[in-house]
Amino acid sequence: MFFAQCFMNLFIQSGSAQAAVSMPIMAPLADLLGISRQTAVLAFQLGDGFTNFAIPWNGITLAVLNIAAVPIWAWFRWAWRLQAWLILVCMALLIWPTLAHWGPF
């Protein structure tokens, strides 16, 4: 679900529009997989938040790089390591809620 949200954010950058499109699909999928809906929402939040930082055509990223006079490829050479670590951290943060069936009591 995390990677599906990351991929979807490449095309739909608005968080509310992405939620409106993906959550009607992800909520029943979470039910089928035995994952709580709260964990599905957490995967949505982490996927949306990560890719907002990582994708190069995000308006804020481009504006900040332009103001700082940093070429996009120079930023990628520096940021890819951080992005790889963030993916691992996001995946690690999803392990406990998935295994503990995190949700309403």
Q: Where are the domains of the chain?
A: 2-99
Tell me: the pLDDT tens digits for 10-64?
A: 888 888 999 999 999 999 999 998 888 999 999 999 988 888 877 877 788 888 8
Q: What is the pLDDT of residue 20?
A: 94
Count helices and strands in the chain by DSSP H and E runs: 5, 0
**How many C-beta neighbours within 10 Å does residue 9 have?**
23
Q: What is the pLDDT of residue 76?
A: 86
CB of 44 within 8 A of CB of 22?
Answer: yes
Q: What is the pLDDT of residue 104?
A: 64
User: How remote is the C-alpha of 11 from its chain's centroid?
Assistant: 13
